[in-house]
A and B are shown apart, each in its own frame.
Chain A
Amino acid sequence: MLFTDPKFLFLFLPFSLILFYLMRRYAGGKSTIWFLLFASAVFYGYWSVTYLGLLLGQVLVNYLLSRQLSRSHSMGQLWLGIGFNLLLLGYFKYRNFFLENVGALIGWHPHLTALFVPLGISFHTFQQITFLTDVAEEEDEVPPLPEYMLFVMFFPQLIAGPIVLHSQMGGQVSAVAAGKRPQEGTFGPGFALFCFGLFKKVCLADNLANFVDSAFQWPQHLQFIEAWSAAIGYCLQLFFDFSGYSDMAIGLGLMFGFLLPFNFNNPLAATSITDFWNRWHITMTRFFTLYVYSPLALATSRMASERNVQAFSAFWLCIAGPTLVTFLAAGLWHGAGWTFIVFGLVHGIALTINRGYREAKMRQLPTIVAWLLTMITVLIGMVYFRSQSMTQAHSILKSMFIPGRLALPLWADSVAQRLGLPVTFYSVFRAANFAAHDLFLLLVFAPLAIMLPNPSVRPKEIRPSYRTAFAVSAMLWLTMGWIGEPRTFLYFQF
């Protein structure tokens, strides 16, 4: 079920909310937890009952594993547990990609049926891996089964995050289970945040979709400005889509009285690539930093200091290496494809350069230059991220950086002829659906992306003032006007 689907907005959500509050008041904590689990199961099962079974199975196995780990604290068993989860994820997500590439190497071309990737598997698998690790390292205790299941399956964050750590949510779930008094004043802010996210998704992201989709469908026809517009347009679309989804997830959580961690903090205003990743998909960055980068960097740094490795090699061993490995993994996590791997590589290399620059204590760049460099890097990454193949990505990047021919609108033809300039004319922009309208959208949406507030960072500060009420009603009115056919969230495919 999509958050933008009328069935969700007008049926599932109101009923779940009403029943949740009734159960919490009259039926006690434990039944409330079971009800939320049931609602989440319906939410997920609406898409596929078979894969609901798979999800339940995986959750149960992980629960048993965590019980075992809480007794043994064995690293060997932890690795087995992580291996099990990654294998499951790998099978659904990467099997075909792996077989195709291995096959290409050895000259075998298997006929592979498309495997349906279970919704949200990348997110909830990672969430469960963090719990196994925390339990094995004695950082956390195993709660009763229904509480663990809710931690994984709570429907606001089930499909596309935020990736919640058990330390952030476990206490809140047990408070509900114990029948403690609910927190006051979370519903209003939650609702406002939900409307804000909905607005970003329906009115901003989806309006960019037409142009961006067409541009990336015919990348070989893109001229210089069109290529840049496609990249910028996609970056904006992805930002509004995913931050909108995250706002909705956090808003929904709050409506049920749960505070979930925020995912975005004005990333398009970042002045360094490191800063960017501290502001974009924050819960994913945190996962990779805590569970991949830091342990790896610590191990290599220890090795470097024991063997007295000197400056240059130490940089490669302790900084560049772990960063590149982490971001290759992060890229690959997004999808099974070379474009995702290169996306990860682009960011890994950029981060390594950024860190090297700081380590070498070189002069700090002026803010605007730093911002431009960061944004250009992000856009390059986005082109790979969105393109359907490496060839497409390279064709767009070529139009962006080595245009060769000057692209002009048709009416400038006479001028160009007289001056003898090498010209071609806008093709994608000229087609019926696009042109000035979409360029205008970009010009308006780009500053919006930087100027819009980030209420998900401190949602409880959303006050019930006239201003908020006006903003929420305006956003809802615009949203209802545009809602039409619900488009899937871009991050659902990961």
Chain B
Amino acid sequence: MSELIRSDVLQDLQQVFRSVFNDDHITLTESTTAADIDGWDSLQQIKVILACEKKFKIKLRARDVNGLDNVGSMVDHLMSTIAKTTRQ
């Protein structure tokens, strides 16, 4: 089983954002928040969640992404969900 690398997850997440927001200039860091990305609201949140589900092959809940403070915590949550899913 290949090791899950944090930077890979961050890269993939960045790609998700770039495609959802249709902006190839978006760069994500661990501390990026909703305030840093134009138009990131509850509507876009849904699209981000669904895109993450497709990309990482996991199942997420609305509150999983709604309540997270920044990209760093999103990556944490994604990694733990991926780990939980692959374990099953």
Contacts and interface: CB of A to CB of B under 8 A. Distances in A.
Contacts of A295: 61-63
A297 B63 CA distance: 12
Interface residues of A, number: 18
Contacts of B73: none
Contact of B63 (A290, A305, A318): A290
Interface string B66-85: 11000000000000000000
Interface stretch (B1-9, B24-32, B38-46): B38-46
Contacts of A294: 42, 45-46, 62-63, 66
A298 interface: yes
A487 interface: no
Given A298-B49, A302-B50, A305-B50, A290 B43 contact: no
Given A137-B61, A139-B63, A294-B62, A289 B50 contact: no
A301 interface: yes
A427 interface: no
B62 to A, nearest CB: 4
Nearest to B45: A294
A293 B47 CA distance: 14
A290 B39 CA distance: 18
Contacts of A355: 43
Contact of A301 (B39, B46, B61, B67): B46
Contacts, number: 40
Interface string A282-316: 00000001100111011001100100000000000
Contacts of A297: 42-43, 46, 62
Interface in A75-119: none
A424 interface: no
Nearest to A297: B46
B80 to A, nearest CB: 12
B50 A290 contact: no
A137 B63 CA distance: 9
B6 to A, nearest CB: 23
A283 B17 CA distance: 27
Contacts of A298: 46, 49-50, 61-62
A164 to B, nearest CB: 15
Interface residues of B, number: 14
A294 B42 CA distance: 7
A202 interface: no
A298 B43 CA distance: 10
A319 interface: yes
A301 B50 contact: yes
Nearest to B22: A361
Q: Which of A167, A289, A298, A302 has the most CB atoms of chain B within a 10 A radius of its CB?
A: A298
A274 B61 CA distance: 23
A293 B42 contact: yes
Contacts of B50: 298, 301-302, 305
B63 A319 contact: no
Nearest to A133: B63
A278 B33 CA distance: 17
B11 to A, nearest CB: 23
A289 B63 contact: no
A276 B47 CA distance: 23
Contacts of A167: 67
A319 B47 CA distance: 11
Interface in A153-178: 167
Interface in A243-283: 274
B47 to A, nearest CB: 8
Contacts of B41: 274
A297 B66 CA distance: 13
A367 B63 CA distance: 33
B16 to A, nearest CB: 14
A168 B67 CA distance: 12
A318 B66 contact: no
Nearest to B65: A294
A294 B39 CA distance: 16
Nearest to A293: B42
A319 B43 CA distance: 8
A295 B42 CA distance: 11
Nearest to B47: A301
Contact of A290 (B46, B49, B66): B66
Contacts of B43: 297, 319, 355
Contacts of B67: 139, 167, 290
Nearest to A359: B43
Contacts of A302: 50
Nearest to B59: A302
B55 to A, nearest CB: 13
A326 B25 CA distance: 34
Which 5 A-B pairs have CB atoms at the shortest separation, nearest pair first? A294-B62, A298-B62, A295-B62, A297-B46, A289-B42
Given A139-B63, A298-B46, A302-B50, 18 more contacts: A139-B67, A167-B67, A290-B62, A290-B66, A290-B67, A294-B42, A294-B45, A294-B63, A295-B61, A297-B42, A297-B43, A297-B46, A298-B49, A298-B50, A298-B61, A301-B50, A319-B43, A355-B43
13 contacts: A137-B63, A139-B67, A289-B66, A290-B62, A290-B67, A294-B62, A295-B62, A297-B42, A297-B62, A298-B49, A298-B50, A298-B61, A302-B50
Interface of B: 39, 41-43, 45-47, 49-50, 61-63, 66-67
